[in-house]
Structure 1
Amino acid sequence: MRSAARTVTRAAVAVIGAGALTLGLASTASAATVNRTVTDGGTTYNLSVTAPNTAAAAGANVTVSGTGYNQSQGIYVGLCAIPAGVNVNNPATWNSKPTPCLGGQDETGTTGASHWINNDWHWLSPNNSSPYTPGANGRGNFSVNIHVKAQISSSVTCGQGGVTCAIVTRADHFDSNDRKYDVYVPVTFS
């Protein structure tokens, strides 16, 4: 009796352990976190963005989360082509605006392809914008859903013709030339 109970218990532990291993592998393979430290106006921000690094080519809704942002700086979250000369592993090369982006700036919220995070004007576009949520040390956090697909435009498709893509954050249209808030999470499509 005792031996049978031990065997059942061991089998249950093995199944639970295998399930935990599978979940651990799935989350590691399906999402990535990129960190960046920037200084803006004498204040240092430790930015962190977590997003899926794979998606279905035909399209998928994905959740993108970020922490550590300057709540006074609005950002866009979206899928963009990585500009020529930008190495996503080297922030010193992040001198060009990530573009083109799926859905463009989408200030009206009609495509669902990007999301605008802005504490002052988010109410102007309730379909695709929201304020930061308060984080540690007064920094801004967010968690948003966006729709991504491989074809960004009629002439640009991620994974074709040398086009590589990433889910990015970038300064909003009030400061679109500011590269401090660019963060890239490379994504491939299957």
Structure 2
Amino acid sequence: MPSAAPRTAVRAAVALLGATALTLGLASSASAATVARTVQDGGVQYNLSVTAPNTAAASGQNVTVTGSGYNPSQGVYVGLCAVPAGVNVNDQSTWNSKPTPCLGGQDQAGTTGASHWVNNDWWWMSPNNSSPYTVSNGRGGFSVSIHVKAQISASVTCGQSGVTCAIVTRADHFDSNDRKYDVYVPVTFS
């Protein structure tokens, strides 16, 4: 009579391979886009780069957003925002209006998971939704998780009534009128 141990091991291996294939399939189902921007700040040139998914589930999902090339002295928010009227995400010369409204607002308390505050000075005050930059050669980088969904507020839904949305970085509340750190990665919802 054959031993049950080899059969059990084979079943476990098949189940593991199936789960791995399913996980890889889910991970690659959302495509990602990278947007780059070069800015001058205090006489220094920063080459910003943000990579984020450009499609997401309308009901909501957590997504990973990565960035590099940032000024580590300038904090930024990472979140999902409506693209303001007059802003063309494909024309950086039009990026003159603050991205708003944003899902979760300016979530300094970290209660919604919809935004993340990246900064090197005060991140420890709000550990639920903030972190310091990783700094290399004087440039800041980050990899953060945020929650996105199509309905930004009771009256604003991405993809409805002409509302377009993007995963963005923008200067934090210490310099909220500074448009240099705005970067838009357009996102659509399915």
Bin of the TM-score, shorter chain as denominator length: 0.7 to 0.9
Read off the aligned partner of 1:160 and give its amino acid letter: Q
Aligned length in residues: 166
| Alignment correspondent of 1:133 | 134
| Alignment correspondent of 1:165 | 165
Matched, 1:93 2:94: yes
Give 1:90 deviation, angstroms.
Answer: 1.0
Give 1:134 deviation, angstroms.
Answer: 1.2
CA distance in structure 2 between the partners assigned to 1:127 and 1:57 by the alignment: 24
SS where residue 107 of structure 1 aligns? coil
CA distance in structure 2 between the partners assigned to 1:72 and 1:115 by the alignment: 16
User: Under a length normalisation based on structure 2, what TM-score does the superposition of the two structures give?
Assistant: 0.85
Gaps of 5+ in 1: 1-18
Give 1:70 deviation, angstroms.
Answer: 0.1
Gaps of 5+ in 2: 1-20
| Alignment correspondent of 1:82 | 83
Give 1:39 deviation, angstroms.
Answer: 0.3
| Alignment correspondent of 2:17 | none
Give 1:115 deviation, angstroms.
Answer: 0.1
CA distance in structure 2 between the partners assigned to 1:82 and 1:172 by the alignment: 17
Read off the aligned partner of 2:155 and give its amino acid letter: S
CA distance in structure 2 between the partners assigned to 1:76 and 1:134 by the alignment: 17
Deviations 1:79-100 (A, max 9, x none): 0000000011111100000000
SS where residue 74 of structure 2 aligns? coil
| Alignment correspondent of 1:45 | 46
| RMSD, matched Cα | 1.5
SS where residue 154 of structure 1 aligns? coil
SS where residue 123 of structure 1 aligns? helix
CA distance in structure 1 between the partners assigned to 2:151 and 2:90 by the alignment: 24
Structure 1 segment 95-110 matched on structure 2, within 5 A: 95-110=96-111
CA distance in structure 1 between the partners assigned to 2:152 and 2:174 by the alignment: 23
Give 1:139 deviation, angstroms.
Answer: 0.1
User: Under a length normalisation based on structure 1, what TM-score does the superposition of the two structures give?
Assistant: 0.85
